């Protein structure tokens, strides 16, 4: 039994089609589908449809979305920033409610899946994690949420954190995080021993925040690639930000690109506004998977972001100098299928058998939608129109 047929849609390849949905998945995609009088139809009015978006890097526990505006407070050091963040969050609604507000906001742009980092440290313990798990439970079936236990304050420099990371995995967290093994924790091997050890023993994936720039950052990337290969973790390790890849070129860049590709380490970039970042096309040419995510959204770290992954794709293209249609398509893929593949969630797509989760909007082509993202969208989640409601 067909649940519903969406008529008069335009696929990214330009074909005008109708789409039938059965049990929440596409059961037919073709021009002029025969329509039984008893079948419910939704006319998409010639709109372009794109697969549901995947946010490969978000921080559900940090955002102030839904709270009154908080002016940004400059901080002289990372430790000062972390202290300010804790103080601000203590005065706000509980983390589960803030996470819920942010999930609702990003869902309204068309995101269907995400990887969220969640702070764990010796003082926070698993409290943020439990709160975000509560929000995840509320959204089950409507948003696919994967969690990372993120040691925001370091592992070695914040005693007790290694045990909390292990406890987080015991509670079902899929990914163990890391952060600046040398720059923050002062001991690359000690830090990576903990992270890769947990991944190896518990079967967790890995996602390491790496802000260290230049050759120092490249050296960390080589360490991470080597450990990934040694433990056979290809396809299960992500380095987020990896600014260093934007700081170097020539043989140094080619060398690390080959190492990352050979090891199966993927790179997440949000296309930061005011610093160099990984060269997307160059890395892809070497076989490195590169994807994107919102990163921080209106929090103690910065005031920007709204969680719209189509705008994120625009920013990737804008910052990368993508002008050609095929490059704009790469920018969008980084927010859909490449993100899903990198983090190990079901890959969205407009194909028979895939979940019927998509975004319909007024745009001539996929490239046009990325270059100037339309605000008005019809959202369909597993065959049901979720917005406008």
Residue 50 β-bridge partners: 359
Q: Please identify, among the stretches 209-217, 222-230, 351-359, 360-368, the one whose residues bind a second copy according to the rule CB under 8 A.
A: 360-368
Q: How far is the CB of 337 from a second copy (least distance, A)?
A: 21
- Of 88 and 122, CB closest to a second copy: 88
Q: Is 93 in the site for a second copy (CB under 8 A)?
A: no
- Among 15, 16, 43, 72, which residue interacts with a second copy (rule: CB under 8 A)? 72
- Among 202, 318, 362, 385, which residue interacts with a second copy (rule: CB under 8 A)? 318
Q: How far is the CB of 308 from a second copy (least distance, A)?
A: 9
Longest dimension (CA), the chain: 68
Distances from the Cα of 330 to the Cαs of 165, 220, 292, in angstroms?
A: 34, 27, 11
290-291: strand order across its sheet: 53-58, 111-119, 144-150, 175-179, 205-210, 237-241, 265-268, 290-291
- Of 13 and 274, CB closest to a second copy: 274
Q: Is 71 in the site for a second copy (CB under 8 A)?
A: yes
DSSP structural state of residue 323: -
Q: Please identify, among the stretches 207-215, 242-250, 309-317, 379-387, the one whose residues bind a second copy according to the rule CB under 8 A.
A: 309-317
Q: Is 78 in the site for a second copy (CB under 8 A)?
A: no
CA distance 358 to 350: 8
Cα-based torsion angle of the residue sequence 78, 84, 90, 95 in order, rounded to the nearest 10 degrees: -40
3-state secondary structure of 378: strand
Q: Is 353 in the site for a second copy (CB under 8 A)?
A: no
x-marked contacts with a second copy along 10-49 as a string, rule CB under 8 A: ----------------------------------------
- Of 260 and 367, CB closest to a second copy: 367
Q: Please identify, among the stretches 23-31, 110-118, 200-208, 311-319, the one whose residues bind a second copy according to the rule CB under 8 A.
A: 311-319
- Of 82 and 342, CB closest to a second copy: 82
Q: How far is the CB of 12 from a second copy (least distance, A)?
A: 12
CA distance 268 to 247: 16
Size of the chain in residues: 389
- Residues 201-230, interacting with a second copy (CB under 8 A): none
Q: Are strands 144-150 and 175-179 parallel, antiparallel or unpaired?
A: parallel
CB within 8 Å of 316: residues ≥ 6 apart: 269, 271, 280, 292, 322, 331, 334, 335
Ramachandran quadrant class, 14 (left: phi over 0; alpha: psi -120 to 50; beta: rest): left
Q: Is 141 in the site for a second copy (CB under 8 A)?
A: no
x-marked contacts with a second copy along 265-304 as a string, rule CB under 8 A: --------xx-----------------------x---xxx
Q: Are strands 205-210 and 175-179 parallel, antiparallel or unpaired?
A: parallel
Tokens of 24: 């929440």
Count CB neighbours of 386 within 10 A.
16
Interacting residues toward a second copy by CB under 8 A: 68-69, 71-72, 74, 273-274, 298, 302-306, 314-315, 317-321, 323-325, 328, 364-365, 367-368, 371-372, 375-376
């Amino acid at each position: 039994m067909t649940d519903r047929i969406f008529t008069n849609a335009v696929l990214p390849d330009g074909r005008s089609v109708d789409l039938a949905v059965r049990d929440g998945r596409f059961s037919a995609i073709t021009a002029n589908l025969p329509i039984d009088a008893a079948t419910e139809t939704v006319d998409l009015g010639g709109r372009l449809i794109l697969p549901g978006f995947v946010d490969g890097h978000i921080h559900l526990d940090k955002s102030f979305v839904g709270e009154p505006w908080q002016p940004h407070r400059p901080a002289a050091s990372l430790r000062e920033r972390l202290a300010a963040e804790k103080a601000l969050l203590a005065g706000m609604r509980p983390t589960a409610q803030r996470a819920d507000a942010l999930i609702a906001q990003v869902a309204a742009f068309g995101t269907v899946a995400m990887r969220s980092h969640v702070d764990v440290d010796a003082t926070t313990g698993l409290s943020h994690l439990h709160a975000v798990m509560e929000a995840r439970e509320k959204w089950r079936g409507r948003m696919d949420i994967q969690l990372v236990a993120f040691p925001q304050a370091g592992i070695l420099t914040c005693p007790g954190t290694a045990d909390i990371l292990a406890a987080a995995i015991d509670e079902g967290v899929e990914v163990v995080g890391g952060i600046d093994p040398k720059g923050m924790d002062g001991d690359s091997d000690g830090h990576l021993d903990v992270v890769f050890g947990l991944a190896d023993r518990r079967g967790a994936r890995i996602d390491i925040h790496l802000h260290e720039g230049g050759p120092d950052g490249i050296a960390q990337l080589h360490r991470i690639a080597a450990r990934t290969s040694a433990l056979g973790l290809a396809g299960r390790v992500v380095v987020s930000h990896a600014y260093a890849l934007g700081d170097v070129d020539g043989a140094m860049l080619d060398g690390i690109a080959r190492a990352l590709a050979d090891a199966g380490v993927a790179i997440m970039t949000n296309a930061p506004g005011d610093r160099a970042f990984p060269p997307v096309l160059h890395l892809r040419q070497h076989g490195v998977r590169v994807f994107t995510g919102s990163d921080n959204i209106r929090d103690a770290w910065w005031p920007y972001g709204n969680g719209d992954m189509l705008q994120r794709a625009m920013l990737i293209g804008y910052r990368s100098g993508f002008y050609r249609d095929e490059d704009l398509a790469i920018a969008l893929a980084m927010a859909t299928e490449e993100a899903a593949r990198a983090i190990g969630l079901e890959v969205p797509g407009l194909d028979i058998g895939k979940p019927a989760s998509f975004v319909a909007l007024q745009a001539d082509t996929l490239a046009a939608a990325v270059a100037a993202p339309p605000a008005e969208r019809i959202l369909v989640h597993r065959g049901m129109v979720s917005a406008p409601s």
